[in-house]
């Protein structure tokens, strides 16, 4: 008898396929080299996050660290984006239409966790096709992106993904984003002095969309990064239309276990993932309203 597939299974399997791609990139024999390398990279990644307010978040410049990030965070961060779309469907759905291609941009999208969560909910609506850009400085994510694109297409979502090296000029001539995802990237770069380039990139991207476009901001709950995002988004003409903070948001054992597959045991992950989450949903206002807001702001 054919196995019964629940809708959630398909998306957990896609997450697992991205993990398998990241895993294959780690060189060497599975037991002697890969497992120790990734376990040690998991410690490095966790240690870098602990120090991130001094030194910025981890670098993802080795296959082992990229795999470590996927194992530690991909399934849960995909889920947080899915939850945002599900809970704010009325704001998102009008941005898409059958027969139309809509641009979705992810800043620092890494292995595509945020895009995966996005695709999962978009598939539910089935509204048109998607052209996605992941502006990430780490070219090493390319194979994960290719797997994500292939698996998502095979599951019936008409989406393409391009990994773009971030620069101020990177967005020249590439369309009109209707949704911008900023997921767990600001806290990585915020405390690095040299990341002025990232701030410029974020501002140049945020000033692109037409009114009505939505920005999803998800991150570790920290006052400084939240304040920075709120100030910049307001300055770029966005109004806050949703948001919440969670001290601890958890993935269910099932979602966690199925996404990780055999990596759960191989890497001794052993517990469902939890995250501190701050979330804000922002909508670009019409120019007229932006002016009024600026004038009110200026007079205060």
Ligand X SMILES: C[S@@+](CC[C@H](N)C(=O)[O-])C[C@H]1O[C@@H](n2cnc3c(N)ncnc32)[C@H](O)[C@@H]1O
Please report, as ranges, the residues that interact with ligand X according to CB under 6 A: 57, 60, 73, 77, 108-110, 113-114, 135-138, 166, 183-185, 188-189, 195, 197-198
Nearest to 206 by CA among 224, 188, 223, 228: 228
The per-residue DSSP string of 202-222 comes to HHHHHTSSPTT-EEEEEE---
Nearer to ligand X, 183 or 259 (CB): 183
Name the β-bridge partners of 131: 103, 160
Nearer to ligand X, 96 or 133 (CB): 133
Nearer to ligand X, 189 or 281 (CB): 189
In the complex, the smallest distance separating the C-beta of residue 32 from ligand X, rounded to whole angstroms, is: 28
Strand order in the sheet with 214-219: 159-164, 129-135, 101-107, 177-183, 214-219, 274-284, 238-250
In the complex, the smallest distance separating the C-beta of residue 288 from ligand X, rounded to whole angstroms, is: 33
Nearer to ligand X, 180 or 285 (CB): 180
CB contact at 8 A, 97 and 212: no
Helix (H) or strand (E) holding 292, with range, is helix 287-299
In the complex, the smallest distance separating the C-beta of residue 179 from ligand X, rounded to whole angstroms, is: 14
In the complex, the smallest distance separating the C-beta of residue 145 from ligand X, rounded to whole angstroms, is: 11
Nearer to ligand X, 76 or 102 (CB): 76
| Burial of 3 per CB tally in 10 Å (0-12, 13-18, 19+) | exposed
């Amino acid at each position: 008898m054919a196995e019964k597939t629940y809708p959630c299974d398909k998306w957990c399997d896609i997450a697992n396929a991205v993990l398998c791609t990241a895993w294959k990139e780690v060189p060497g024999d599975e037991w002697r080299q890969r497992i120790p390398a990734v376990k040690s990279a998991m410690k490095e990644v966790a240690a870098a996050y602990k120090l991130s307010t001094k030194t910025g978040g981890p670098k993802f410049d080795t296959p082992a660290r990229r795999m470590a990030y996927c194992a530690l965070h991909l399934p849960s961060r995909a889920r947080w984006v899915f939850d945002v779309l599900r809970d704010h469907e009325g704001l998102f759905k009008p941005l898409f239409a059958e027969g139309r291609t809509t641009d979705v941009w992810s800043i620092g999208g890494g292995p595509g966790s945020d895009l995966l969560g996005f695709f999962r909910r978009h598939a539910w609506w089935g509204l048109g096709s998607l052209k996605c850009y992941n502006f990430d400085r780490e070219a090493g994510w390319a194979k994960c992106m290719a797997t994500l694109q292939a698996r998502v297409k095979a599951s019936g979502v008409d989406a393409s993904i391009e990994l773009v090296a971030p620069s101020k000029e990177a967005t020249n001539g590439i369309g009109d984003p209707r949704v911008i995802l900023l997921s767990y990237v600001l806290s990585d770069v915020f405390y690095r002095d040299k990341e002025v380039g990232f701030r410029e990139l974020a501002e140049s991207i945020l000033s692109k969309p037409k009114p009505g476009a939505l920005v999803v901001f998800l991150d570790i709950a920290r006052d400084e990064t939240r304040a920075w995002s709120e100030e910049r988004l307001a300055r770029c003409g966005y109004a806050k239309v949703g948001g919440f903070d969670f001290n601890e948001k958890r993935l269910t054992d099932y979602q966690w276990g199925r996404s990780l597959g055999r990596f759960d045991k191989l890497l001794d992950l052993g517990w469902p993932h939890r995250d501190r989450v701050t979330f804000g949903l922002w909508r670009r206002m019409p120019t007229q309203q932006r002016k009024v807001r600026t004038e009110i702001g200026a007079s205060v």
